[in-house]
Amino acid sequence: MDREALVELVALAAIAGEHVLVVGPPGTGKSEAVRRVARALGGRYFEYLLGRFTEPSELFGPVDLKKLRDGVVETRTEGMLPEAEIAFLDEVFLGSTAILNTLLGILNERRFRRGQTEVECPLRVCVGATNNLPEEDALAAFGDRFLVHFFVDPLPDHQLEALLEGGWSRGAPPAPVGLVELDRLSAIAQAADLGPVRPALAQALRTLKREGITLSDRRTVKVQRLIAATAALSGRTTPTEADLWPLVYAVPNKVGQEAAKEALKDLLGRAESAALAHAAEQASNSPAARAARLVNVGLGIFAERPTDAALLPGWRLKLEGVAKELDAGFEANQRPAELEALRARIVAETQVQEAGAAWVELQVS
Q: Which long-range contacts (CB under 8 A, 24 or more apart) does 75-81 make?
A: 75/112, 75/114, 75/115, 75/117, 77/112, 77/117, 77/119, 79/46, 80/46, 81/46, 81/48, 81/106, 81/112
- CA torsion sign for 265, 268, 269, 275 is negative
Tell me what pLDDT residue 201 has.
97
Angle, CA 279 vertex, CA 275 and CA 282 arms, to 5°: 140
Tell me what pLDDT residue 171 has.
46
Q: Could you give the 3-state DSSP secondary structure of residue 39?
A: helix
Tell me what pLDDT residue 352 has.
58
Q: Which of 43, 40, 38, 6 is nearest to 21 (CA)?
A: 6
Tell me what pLDDT residue 165 has.
54
2-169 belongs to CATH 3.40.50.300: yes
Q: Residue 31 gets which letter from DSSP? A: H
Query: DSSP of 260-314, one letter per residue?
Result: HHHHTHHHHTT---STTHHHHHHHH--HHHHHHHHHHHHHHHHHT--SSGGGHHH
Give, to the nearest 10 degrees, the angle between helix 217-233 and helix 179-190.
120
pLDDT tens-digit profile of 12-66? 999 999 999 999 887 767 778 788 888 888 889 999 999 999 999 999 999 887 7
Q: Residue 125 gets which letter from DSSP? A: E
Tell me what pLDDT residue 299 has.
87
Domain boundaries, the chain: 2-169, 184-284, 287-364
Residue 129: strand pairing partners: 22, 90
Query: DSSP of 236-261, one letter per residue?
Result: -SS--GGG-TTHHHHSSSHHHHHHHH
How high does pLDDT run on average in the chain? 85
| One pLDDT digit (tens) per residue for the chain, 365 residues | 577 889 899 999 999 999 999 998 877 677 787 888 888 888 899 999 999 999 999 999 998 877 777 777 788 899 999 999 999 999 999 999 999 999 999 999 999 988 788 899 999 999 999 998 888 888 888 999 999 999 987 655 445 455 555 554 444 444 456 889 999 999 999 999 999 999 999 999 999 999 999 899 999 999 999 999 999 999 999 999 999 999 999 999 999 999 999 999 999 988 888 889 889 988 887 677 777 778 878 888 888 888 888 888 888 888 888 888 778 777 888 788 888 888 888 888 877 555 444 434 444 44
| pTM of structure | 0.78
Query: DSSP of 133-194, one letter per residue?
Result: ---SHHHHHHHTT--EEEE--PPPGGGHHHHHHHHHH--SPPPP--HHHHHHHHHHHHT---
